[in-house]
Structure 1
Amino acid sequence: MAEVKLKAVLRTDFGKGAARRTRRDNKVPAVVYGHGADPKHVALDGHALMMALKTPNVLISLDVEGKKELVIPKAVQREALRGFLVHVDFLAVKRGEKVTVEVPIHTEGELAPGGNLLEHILGALPVEAEATHIPEGVTVSIEGLEAGHTVRAGDIPLPRGTSLAVEDDAAVLQVVAAQTEAPTEEEAAAEEEAAEAAAEEGAAAEEAAETPAAEG
């Protein structure tokens, strides 16, 4: 994974008001922590950071007023409606250091015919990898899988140097049977009318059977 170089400035003002002022300047407030050091409160260019975060678990070479360190994003807060960045937590890492992250799960292939559905039980796969070699994702083949099949964490091939950070038998994906669509209100009313008519016809036939025929 290539490093993305970003610059940051130290923040000395804190609180909601200070954060709003930072965002008005098109910057994103963030904090850098890890390795037992005191957290650093910084601000980064909003557009540059947004582009960097398009890559999951991106490795960033962060220049904080001339002092450089490697970091990865650990928590990203976004505005609920418009999705713009509100705050980012960065974890300081070192080359050769193992970190635990969640990587995206991609699928390839087609399920067996029948209109079945693929359910993602885990939205991402927890793995442990070297900080400078975090995989961008893992790929799972679902070719020909039928209803009832479960893909477990141990079934997923991992890149070299990456290991699971979850139990092997943890369910990741599951194929569920297609469900019959519920009838519309018109269809339900028609079925009810048909049932009532059938019941009336049955009652009339029963009554006719019980009535003795007139003597000639």
Structure 2
Amino acid sequence: MAEYYHLDVVERKRTRTAGARSLRREGRIPVNYYYHGEKNHNLSIDRKALYAALHSGNHVFEIGIDGSPHYVMIKEVQYHPVTDEIIHVDLMRVRRKEKMTIAVPVSFEGQAAGVKKGGVMIENLSHLEISCLPTEVPESIAIDITELEIGHALTAGDVTLPDNIELVTDPELTVVTVQAPKTHVEEEAPAAEEGEAPLAPEPEEDTETEE
């Protein structure tokens, strides 16, 4: 279960492009906070603190607005097309007692039996969509693949989830499979039948012309 990770945000009054650029020069990232039916808030967050949060493994974060705690998830991150630095973030509020749908990464545990026999493991899905309370979002979903043989696959419906988590991804979608290794077979010339002489090479045509 993910713990709440606190983010220090402050209200920002400079909302135009020039104001956003000025904030970024000061080491802060512009943030939009929103929730259906509520007033949007223009905020900013320290760049280093944001990067730390993104690499924390958490999905739900706590922020303070007007002296009250609010719980949010990072809905969208915008990057600079050249420098790849973060230039803007959208935060969406979540209710602690309302289920939310979120994509969570999968992690494979063990080595597949088919791989030990020379097979090749193919990872078809890297995330599964689930529905659960914000307080119960796992950092990842562990999938045991030790008994997966060559030619076999695990679907989303095969993954064991805790009772408090519902699968949203199509249960028929393949998550991981083990395929047989590719073999290269060289084509051989057909052998002559018994009592039959091997075919002689055809003579080359005389391309010279008489003068």
| Aligned residue type for 1:70 | Y
* Aligned residue among 123, 126, 135 for 1:132: 135
Which residue of structure 2 aligns with residue 3 of structure 1?
4
Aligned residues: 192
- What TM-score, normalized by structure 2, do the two folds share? 0.77
Q: CA deviation at 1:57?
A: 4.6
| Aligned residue type for 2:69 | K
Which residue of structure 1 aligns with residue 121 of structure 2?
118
Structure with more of its chain in helix, by fraction: 1
| Aligned residue type for 2:38 | A
1:164 aligned to 2:167? yes
Query: Matches of 1:79 and 1:177 in 2, distance apart?
Result: 42
Closer, same or farther: CA 29–108 of 1 in aligned 2, 3 Å: same
Question: Retained in 1: the 8 A contact 2:3–2:58?
Answer: no
1:93 aligned to 2:94? yes
Question: Retained in 2: the 8 A contact 1:10–1:41?
Answer: yes
Q: Secondary structure at the match of 1:110?
A: coil
- The gaps in structure 1 that reach 5 residues or longer are 182-190, 196-201, 209-216
- What TM-score, normalized by structure 1, do the two folds share? 0.75
Quote the sequence identity (%): 31
| Aligned residue type for 1:31 | N
Q: CA deviation at 1:102?
A: 0.5
Which residue of structure 1 aligns with residue 195 of structure 2?
none
Deviation sequence 1:89-118 (CA, Å, 0-9, x none): 211112211000000100011122243332
Q: Secondary structure at the match of 1:21?
A: helix
Which residue of structure 2 aligns with residue 188 of structure 1?
none
Query: Matches of 1:50 and 1:66 in 2, distance apart?
Result: 24
Q: CA deviation at 1:3?
A: 1.1
Question: Retained in 2: the 8 A contact 1:61–1:70?
Answer: yes
Which residue of structure 1 aligns with residue 41 of structure 2?
40
Q: Secondary structure at the match of 2:39?
A: strand
Query: Matches of 1:160 and 1:20 in 2, distance apart?
Result: 46
Question: Retained in 2: the 8 A contact 1:52–1:58?
Answer: no
| Aligned residue type for 1:102 | A
Deviation sequence 1:48-105 (CA, Å, 0-9, x none): 1211122345221102363431111122234467654332221111221100000010
Q: Secondary structure at the match of 1:22?
A: helix
1:155 aligned to 2:155? no
| Aligned residue type for 1:49 | L
Query: Matches of 1:169 and 1:115 in 2, distance apart?
Result: 26
Q: CA RMSD in A?
A: 3.0
The 5 A counterparts of 1:1-216 are 1-64=2-65, 66-79=67-80, 83-111=84-112, 112=114, 113-179=116-182, 205-206=200-201
- The gaps in structure 2 that reach 5 residues or longer are 190-197, 204-211
Deviation sequence 1:162-207 (CA, Å, 0-9, x none): 11112221222222333358xxxxxxxxx9xxx9xxxxxx87x456
Q: CA deviation at 1:22?
A: 1.9
Query: Matches of 1:81 and 1:105 in 2, distance apart?
Result: 30
Query: Matches of 1:67 and 1:7 in 2, distance apart?
Result: 13
Which residue of structure 2 aligns with residue 199 of structure 1?
none
- 4+ runs deviating over 4 angstroms: 79-83, 205-208
Closer, same or farther: CA 172–27 of 1 in aligned 2, 3 Å: same
Closer, same or farther: CA 151–80 of 1 in aligned 2, 3 Å: farther
Question: Retained in 1: the 8 A contact 2:5–2:58?
Answer: no
